[in-house]
Amino acid sequence: MPNTANVRLPMLSQKIYKEWLAETVLVQSCDNSFEGEFDIANREIDIPVYHDLSIHQTTIKEHELKPAPIEFVRTSTKRVTIDKGRYSHWGETNIGKLINKLTANTGEIRTRLVKKWALAADIELAIFCAKLPKKQEIDLITYLADSANNPHGELTPENVVKALDILKAHVTAKNMTVSDFKLFASERFEGILRDAKIVLGSNLDANEAFRKGFVAYANGVDVRKHEIAEVTTRDPNTKLVEAEWAIWKTRDGIQYVVPYKNTVQYDISPSEVLLGGKGYQSLEYYDFFNLYPGRLYKVKIRYTQGFNPPAL
Amino acid sequence: MNDKDLFKDLLDLEDDFDEDDNEGENLEEEEEKAEESKDEKESAGESEEEKRRKEEEQRRKNKNAEEARKRREREAKRKKEEAKINEIGRQIEECKKKYPNLDIAALDKDENFKKFIDGKLLGKKNFTELYEDYIKLRGSLSAKSEEEVMQDYLLKSRASGGTYIAGGSGGGGRPADIYSPEELARLEERIPFMSVSEYDRIAEKLEKSLAFYEKKR
């Protein structure tokens, strides 16, 4: 007879992963694919590389085709080293009880863990984006500044369309497709769009509305709302967002992989728990990579004079 | 069929015995032609006759040496190939000791297996290791367990015995769509490494299997 409890533990981790991922805004917008099996000894995994395919042009004239130059197909995966982990201890030393608590769909413990992990993962990723180098920055404060009408470069309902045009132009100028990009910003950006009375939902796909964080398609830009305070500067009294780092990215702009997820047992010494015992913890090894710098930008936005996005 | 005869087509045996024989025939022809031309020129002077006789003798000696060399080479080749065939036979015997129910003839007929081992036979890995690698590969490609893949290569009398999972019933009163205890043990190790899509493929059967065993408890 197999020990079913031991099989249920890693199953729980798979369940938790799926649940916390669905709760995120930023992380679930990243490419999470990997190939093969995680090499746990060396912490290595292969992630797909989306190199550009070449298009060869030719003329068809009396069956005369120009021979294409020999093209060496580059490898389609890149080996990366996973360097991050997250884990939570469970306050239960009885495996049977632990499984019952965690597998129950109404289980409060799992729900709370899922929300915490989702938020922690989004915060970490947002901070990473806000720390991107200057060359991956689109400074809307400078671009929107107008000595006569808007000397401090604030984003307002009047210039939000221009701001979105600037973002799109950065993409088009590099021969990329605007529809691949999404803008992740705070609730203040959503308020600006609402005040500007921009037609919302004109391109609405039925599925999008149910996706976490979806705000609207505004001026052809897919806008998502996050709740990450760390990349915003807030008014000390009202707590309203006055400046922020927004994120303008494609799915493959960040490759976020979680190649190992498990719930494991560990020994608890008698000094910690009477007579000692076994403790349980859920853990994940993960990491994220920006292999295509041209497909990930941080966007510097000011809503109120005198405020700047946080220095991280 | 003798084990030695199996997989013989995958060995890089050199079938050039006939060519060597042809070479021998060619030499004989040359010799005959030389003798004919000799008869024709008998009317030439005696000194010339003497010279030609010596040349003829020299040529005969060279020919004998060449033939002896070729004979030795043929013999060496034959021994080398016999050794290869014997080694294959020995490795297959070893494999049969480890897997007594293995149907070697079925493996010999499996074109995919032959492609898999082509160039690897008598290499770094022995036949048993190659067979095990093949089973693992097929298992990983087909989402079948190794046990299920091995089932394809069991001797028929044994396969129907029911030791392994056979279609219709999983054995031991276990329905076919329930993982065996061994499979569950393997999955326990594998699940932490699975991607979401990979896990989703097995999740339903896994849940069903656990419920089955928990109910039996």
Domains of chain A: 1-53+72-312 (3.90.1690)
Interchain proximity A7–B216, CB inside 8 Å: no
The parent domain of residue B59 ranges over 3-164
Residue B66 lies in a domain: yes
Residue B198 lies in a domain: no
pLDDT number for residue A44: 94
Interchain proximity A4–B192, CB inside 8 Å: no
* Least Cα separation, residue A46 to chain B (angstroms): 13
Residue B196 lies in a domain: no
Mean pLDDT over residues B177-192, rounded?
A: 89
Interchain proximity A261–B192, CB inside 8 Å: yes
Residues in contact with A192: Cβ distance below 8 Å, sequence separation at least 6, in sequence order:
A155, A156, A157, A160, A303
pLDDT number for residue A72: 46
Q: Residues 258-277, chain A: which have Cβ within 8 Å of B?
A: 259-262
Mean pLDDT over residues A205-215, rounded?
A: 69
Strand pairing partners for A146?
Answer: A150
Q: How many domains does chain B have?
A: 1
The pLDDT tens digits of the residues spanning A252-303 come to 999 999 999 999 988 888 777 767 788 899 999 999 999 999 999 999 999 9
Residue B173 lies in a domain: no
pLDDT number for residue B17: 46
Residues in contact with B125: Cβ distance below 8 Å, sequence separation at least 6, in sequence order:
B133
Which comes out higher in pLDDT, residue B161 or B204?
A: B204
CB of B215 within 8 Å of a chain A CB? The answer is no
pLDDT number for residue B20: 46
Interchain proximity A7–B195, CB inside 8 Å: no
pLDDT number for residue B160: 37
Residues of A in contact with B195 (CB under 8 A): 33-34, 259
Are residues A310 and A131 in contact, defined by beta-carbon separation less than 8 angstroms?
no
Mean pLDDT over residues A137-165, rounded?
A: 95
Interchain proximity B213–A1, CB inside 8 Å: yes
Residue B195 lies in a domain: no
pLDDT number for residue A205: 61
Q: Name the 3-class secondary structure at B103.
A: coil
Q: Which long-range contacts (CB under 8 A, 24 or more apart) does A210-215 make?
A: A212/A22, A212/A23, A212/A24, A212/A25, A212/A28, A213/A25, A213/A184, A215/A189, A215/A190
Closest A-chain CA to B212: A4
CB of A1 within 8 Å of a chain B CB? The answer is yes
Structure token digits, residue A210? 């149910």
* Nearest CA among B166, B188, B134 for reference residue A7: B188
The pLDDT tens digits of the residues spanning A13-30 come to 999 999 999 999 999 999
Residue B206 lies in a domain: no
DSSP string, B136-174: HHHHHHHT--HHHHHHTTB-HHHHTT-SS-BTTB-STT-
Residue B193 lies in a domain: no
CB of B214 within 8 Å of a chain A CB? The answer is yes
Of B191, B214, B217, the CB nearest to A11: B191
* Least Cα separation, residue A6 to chain B (angstroms): 7
CB of A17 within 8 Å of a chain B CB? The answer is yes
CB of A233 within 8 Å of a chain B CB? The answer is no
Mean pLDDT over residues A148-164, rounded?
A: 95
Global ipTM: 0.83
Interchain proximity A1–B210, CB inside 8 Å: no
What is the DSSP pairing of strand A77-81 with strand A44-48? antiparallel
**Pairs across A and B, CB distance < 8 A:** 48
| H helix or E strand, kind and range, residue B36 | helix B17-40
Give whole-number Cα distances, A67 to A53, A59, A74, B37, in Å.
Answer: 17, 11, 20, 60
Average pLDDT, rounded, for chain B? 75
